[in-house]
Amino acid sequence: MEEGGSVNLRLALARKTTQLDALNDSMLEILAGLKQGEVLGHVLASAAACIPAADSGLVALAEGSVGSLNVGASYGFDPQDIERSSWLKSLANDADKEHSPETSGQASGAPLPGGRRAVTVSALEGSGKKLGFFGLFSIFPDAFTERDSQVLHDFATVASLAVRDAQLLAEIESLGVSDPLTGLLNRQGFNELAEREFKRACRFGQPLALLKIEVDELKTINDRYGRAVGDQLLRGVGRRLQHQLRAVDLIGRCGPGVFHVVLAETTAGKAAWVMNRIRRSLMDAQYETRRGEMKISVSAGVASLEQGCSSITQLVEWADLARLKHS
């Protein structure tokens, strides 16, 4: 019995390791900026590999009018099955009504195509907004376990990030408000999108934090070494910020050497930890410039919605006061 228990434990650990590796690979693809369809296809394939009971799966995304769904990625389905969208809507309702965003489960009420008799679904959601659902299917009625449902939820969380990231990128491109030097949002673009995130957080009672990061003595650097060197430093800072932060975080260059960051669904304590980690990373780095490698000094401040502010502008002011206090 002891030997059998040890074997089962090793198998469970191996399965968990495989799942974590697959989730990590999916997150790296999102951070690499791949197209939404490519990322969703990878996440779906990874989920299927971790849940071998599934013989088919799909990611259905909310599109346009309320109730309209579009399949973002799928495998194992006949194209004609996917074209009949009534069962997709039924499953979307099942995912929204029966299962909270934090849990997944088996849906039994929705009609399934192609002789399939079991499905486990998880809602896709971001900032309180319904994005669609993630589902795996089987021809066997009792194919999925509770553990399978939880694994699916983990992959659905990654899929939600991919969808939300793609939506934010589309909004940025449509606004035409990127900073030509760093490729980040400019002040106008950041303020518009940050205001939306602020209103969403207030509406759904979610935490939100803002970081203000400033390159110290930028004017002195420009005067001593030339503006071209200062621009190279700012581009380097922009790249490191993108690498250090999540794909769903908003990053804007809102002044000559000033960067603002909105951390969605992030508490004050976690935001302070993120700020300190980023500040150390920016100051430890060696930046390539036409005058050789250089290091910089950075000051940073953080403010959070939990403190009771009334606007994104006030949040920026509080972050600046915190920056000045600790610089």
Where residue 132 sits, what CATH number does that domain have? Answer: 3.30.450.40
Where residue 309 sits, what CATH number does that domain have? Answer: 3.30.70.270
Do 48 and 149 lie in one domain? The reply is yes
Q: Are 154 and 146 in contact (CB under 8 A)?
A: no
SS3 for 57?
strand
Q: Give the Cα-Cα-Cα angle 146, 9, 101 (nearest 5 degrees).
A: 25
Which of 171, 198, 228 terminates a domain? The answer is: 171
d(CA 116, CA 183): 47
pLDDT band with cut points at 50, 70 and 90 for residue 255: very high
Do 144 and 72 lie in one domain? The reply is yes
Which of 109, 142, 171 terminates a domain? The answer is: 171
d(CA 323, CA 58): 46
Q: Give the Cα-Cα-Cα angle 297, 303, 309 (nearest 5 degrees).
A: 150
Do 229 and 142 lie in one domain? The reply is no
Do 103 and 245 lie in one domain? The reply is no
Residue-level pLDDT at 105? 43
d(CA 307, CA 193): 21
Residue range 168-211, pLDDT digits in tens = 766 666 666 788 899 899 998 899 889 988 988 888 888 999 99
Residue range 136-151, pLDDT digits in tens = 999 998 889 888 888 8
The whole-model pTM stands at: 0.53
Do 187 and 311 lie in one domain? The reply is yes
Residue range 203-244, pLDDT digits in tens = 888 899 999 999 999 999 999 999 999 999 999 999 999 988
Of 80-84, 105-109, 156-160, 295-299, least confident by mean pLDDT is 105-109
* More confident call, 83 vs 293: 293
Total number of domains constituting the chain: 2
Residue range 268-302, pLDDT digits in tens = 999 999 999 999 999 999 999 989 999 999 999 99
Q: Which amino acid is at 50?
A: C
Which of 125, 156, 171 terminates a domain? The answer is: 171
Residue whose structure tokens are 């191996």: 14
Do 81 and 165 lie in one domain? The reply is yes
* More confident call, 104 vs 171: 171
CA distances from 66 to 37, 69, 72, 152 (A): 21, 9, 17, 25
Averaged pLDDT for residues 65-74: 74
Query: What range does the domain containing 224 cover?
Result: 177-326
Q: Are 116 and 56 in contact (CB under 8 A)?
A: yes
- Which are the contacts of 242, defined by CB distance < 8 A and separation ≥ 6? 184, 251
Residue range 310-323, pLDDT digits in tens = 889 999 999 999 88
Residue-level pLDDT at 280? 94
